[in-house]
Amino acid sequence: MSETTSEIAVLRAALAAAEARASAAERELTQARAVISASEEMIQHLRLQIAKLRRDQYGHSAERQARLIEQLEMRLEDLETDLADDRAKAEATAPKAVVAAFERRRPARKPFPDHLPRERVEIEAPSACSCCGSARIVKMGEDVTETLEVIPRQWKVIQTVREKFTCVRRQNNPPDCFVTLLTCERISQPPAPFHPTPRGWAGPNLLAFATGLEPMAARGSLLFEKFGQHQPLNRQAERYAKEGVEISLSTLADQVGACAVALQPIHDLIRAHVLAAERLHADDTTVPLMAKGGTQTARLWTYLRDDRPFAGEAPPAALYSFSTDRRMEHPTRHLAGWTGILQADAYGGYNGVYDAARKPAPVLRALCWSHARRKFFELADIKAAAKNGARKGTKVAEEISPIALDAVKRIDLIFEAEREINGLSAVARCDARQLLARPMVEDLHDWMRAERARMSKHNPVAKAINYMFEEDGRWEAFTRFLDDGRICLTNNAAERALRGIALGRKAWLFAGSLRGGDRAAFIYSLIVTARMNDVDPQAWLADVLARLPDMPLSRLPELLPWHWSQTLQRKAA
């Protein structure tokens, strides 16, 4: 029996040693990756500097030179943010001991400008010694941590003061000792406050600006201005400098990267919530990606959960993903393991999830009637479109085809019936559709078949009709909404989720790198989800960043936008 016990002890010791070696190897790998990232960032930085100098020497025009330099600065911004990501991940996995090969010497931080007002926040001092419990403690000094914070149009530095006390209680010596009485001398001090990001010199309001004031006053946000208002960091740094606070681009990029790492648990919860839906909206839009010699066309995908049209109780949420192209493999990877109903356009890239051999099961396809109507509308209402968009004196074209106009009117009747049942339960919507929409859909089907039989295959209207019929199962996908009250008639929800990105492209021009695109998709998921739940993204992000360091994992769901807004309402009540 003793031999068996000893063998078990030896095996346990060997297992513990193996686990320790595996953990050490994982830490070394993370740190090595961070070193490689830092080296690559330095190489890229030097290359950008060389390119700038060459352009200064050989550039053809000042305007072209300025545009190139701005593009290079935006690329450098993404590289520095990538480096901040790696540093934050390495610090999260590294042990307390500093690894000399990875830890690089940092210059002393430049003090904040003296003209900024200071707000002194004193943490409650200890009332007793933390060692022996004695109340005889005296103040011996204090530590002051300065954090740069911002409120609308006003900057300030918050000084967090932690007073230190030492115990002066005298203790009796042991009986066999004839020395004078001893004192405790234990130092007591409150713990230092947590910061949203490592080496956090920026407060949560500066990182994600939280006020209840008008949106035009929101001038201090890093995350929200970069991703919500589409203002690159170099432009933010220029504005801060004009307001008397000089912050380098690399410092701002470091905070953005660290925030992305800190917010990862919240993003994971939103992702799990979206992929738990029985029905999703999906769409994508183009995003220019900086490449050698110019830009390439990348894609930003959105997968949206919104159960409100059929009175679902689940909160709405959006999940974004970035890819360098539009190949089928991307939506197949994004939706791996998910089953349900996918509402999208007729793009063939989604065919991978519709495949009958897909595991665990194929996704059901529900197509968008807005896309189908648009093809007829372009042919039928050119007169109205030209009238609304043309200047005075411009010749307005007449309608191309009365048949296309008739198709638009028939589809509009279906839309009108659908608006009446929006917000009802899935069962009530299904019953109403059987009564109202099904006769109109069947009549439209028979009418389009008859009209197409009389047309040439090259007729534009015939092509619009073929969009709804040309593939096996496409008409079934268009009419699936009749038998399922959860399905919407259109995919407009996903298109609305991409509208802000389409507008923002004019400001940020392109994504600087693949990781920059991934990071943008990450933050867009948070901001758009907050907006869908009628939550101010700035206030929410600021509060989340402030509370995350102290929040246990079991309570993280409290920080999701729909739970966060309910907490605010309870506090207001």
List beta partners, residue 160.
121, 145
* Total number of domains constituting the chain: 3
Q: How far is CA 289 from the centre of its chain?
A: 18
Residue at a domain's end among 93, 127, 157: 93
Backbone angles phi, psi at 189, to 5 degrees: -155, 140
User: Domain check: are 416 and 545 in the same one?
Assistant: no
Q: Tokens representing 325? A: 């192209």
Q: What is the pLDDT of residue 217?
A: 29
Is residue 247 domain-shared with residue 375, that is, in the same domain?
no
Tokens of 142: 């204090």
d(CA 349, CA 347): 6
Please indicate, yes or no, whether residues 250 and 180 belong to a single structural domain of this protein. yes
Residue 201 maps to a domain: yes
8 and 124, same domain (yes or no):
no
Q: Do 453 and 379 belong to one domain? A: yes
CA dihedral defined by 429, 435, 439, 441, rounded to 10 degrees?
0
Examine the domain organization and report whether 132 and 246 are in the same domain: yes
Q: Are 405 and 399 in contact (CB under 8 A)?
A: yes
* Cβ proximity of 121 and 158 under 8 Å: yes
C-alpha distances in angstroms, 567 versus 71, 179, 276, 499? 43, 60, 24, 30
Answer yes or no: are the C-beta atoms of 282 and 329 closer than 8 Å. Answer: no
Quote the pLDDT of residue 520: 86
Kindly state whether residues 159 and 208 are assigned to the same domain: yes
In a domain, 314, yes or no: no
Split the chain (573 residues) into runs of 10 and give each run's mean pLDDT. 73 84 81 70 60 54 53 66 72 55 55 86 88 88 84 74 83 54 76 65 59 30 73 78 81 80 93 96 90 82 96 95 94 95 93 92 95 88 49 47 89 94 94 95 95 88 89 88 96 91 67 82 92 90 86 92 78 57
Residue 208 token pair: 């994600």
In a domain, 21, yes or no: yes
Give the per-residue pLDDT at 558.
Answer: 93
User: Where among 472, 487, 502 does a domain terminate?
Assistant: 487
pLDDT at res. 201: 62
Instruction: Enumerate the β-bridge partners of residue 303.
Output: 282, 319
**Cα first-last separation, the chain:** 67
Residue 134 counted as domain residue: yes
> 285 in a domain, yes or no?
no
Q: What is the pLDDT of residue 6?
A: 77
Degrees to nearest 5, angle at CA 270 with 266 and 273: 140
Q: Are residues 122 and 237 in the same domain?
A: yes
Q: Which domain holds residue 441?
A: 369-487
* Burial (CB count within 10 angstroms: exposed 0-12, middle 13-18, buried 19+), residue 79: buried
251/161 same-domain check = yes
Q: Is residue 320 part of a domain?
A: no
Same domain, 80 and 125: no
Task: Quote the pTM value.
Answer: 0.71
Same domain, 176 and 249: yes
Give, for 1, the enclosing helix (H) or strand (E). Answer: none
Query: Does a structural domain hold residue 78?
Result: yes
Strand partners for 281? 304, 343
What sign has the CA pseudo-torsion 396, 401, 405, 411?
negative
Tell which residue, 180, 119, 115, 181, has the closest CA to residue 146.
119
b/e code 24-33 from CB counts within 10 Å (16+ = b):
eeebeebbee
166 domain-assigned: yes
**The pair of three-digit structure tokens given for residue 566, joined into one six-digit string:** 């309910």
CA 90, CA 34: separation in Å to the nearest integer?
7
Over 50-110, what HEC string results?
A: HHHHHHHHHCCCHHHHHHHHHHHHHHHHHHHHHHHHHHHHHHHHCCCCCCCCCCCCCCCCC
Compute, in degrees rounded to 10, the torsion defined by CA atoms 249, 253, 259, 262. -140
Amino acid at 473: G
| Residue that the structure tokens 């479109």 belong to | 385
The residue among 274, 464, 239, 305 whose CA lies nearest residue 369 is 464
Q: Are residues 57 and 125 in the same domain?
A: no
pLDDT at residue number 216: 27
Residue 544 DSSP SS3? helix
Last residue of a domain, one of 93, 109, 139: 93
Distance (Å, whole) CA 51 – CA 221: 31
Pairing of strands 279-291, 294-305: antiparallel
